[in-house]
């Protein structure tokens, strides 16, 4: 299940960056790619919930990782919404980077990740 989760969020990040570039160029395909991106949000959340469910003793770090992951998805949607409306997306981009770094750090630090220290 870990591999499915990593694959789904990695594809989601790639699709997010593709959607951003398509929206910037004004392509009509941006909406279609964004719908596929939302499908990968759902896959990422489902695999994350299944991973969380498979852990015998859930610590607060796992809950923080789950919340950081949801924050990443929310920030992605904020970036895309701000870009679509033609508003400044700087705050949303900063949130996305902070949430992504936090989620990846927590994911690597937890026992299902790799040993950082």
pLDDT in 10s for each residue of the chain, 117 residues = 788 998 999 999 999 999 999 999 988 999 999 999 999 999 999 999 998 888 877 788 888 999 999 999 999 999 999 999 999 999 999 999 999 999 999 888 877 666 555
Structure tokens at 9: 């969020």
Q: What is the CA radius of gyration of the chain?
A: 15
Give the contacts of 4 (CB within 8 A, at least 6 positions apart).
Answer: 43, 47
In this predicted structure, what is the pLDDT of residue 3?
A: 86
For residue 114, give the DSSP letter. -
Phi-psi domain of 57 (left: phi exceeds 0; alpha: psi -120 through 50; beta: other): beta
Consecutive H or E run containing 83 = helix 60-85
What's the CA gap between 68 and 116, in Å, rounded? 19
CA neighbor of 99 nearest in space, from 64, 63, 62, 69: 69
């Amino acid at each position: 299940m870990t591999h499915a989760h990593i694959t789904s969020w990695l594809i989601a990040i790639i699709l997010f960056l593709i959607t951003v570039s398509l929206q910037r160029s004004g392509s009509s395909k941006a909406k279609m790619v964004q719908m596929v991106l939302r499908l990968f949000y759902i896959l990422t959340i489902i695999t994350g919930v299944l991973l969380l469910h498979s852990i015998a003793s859930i610590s607060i770090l796992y809950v923080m990782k789950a919340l950081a992951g949801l924050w990443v998805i929310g920030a992605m949607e904020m970036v895309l919404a701000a870009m679509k409306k033609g508003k400044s997306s700087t705050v949303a981009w900063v949130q996305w980077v902070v949430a992504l770094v936090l989620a990846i750090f927590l994911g690597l630090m937890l026992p299902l990740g790799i040993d950082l220290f």
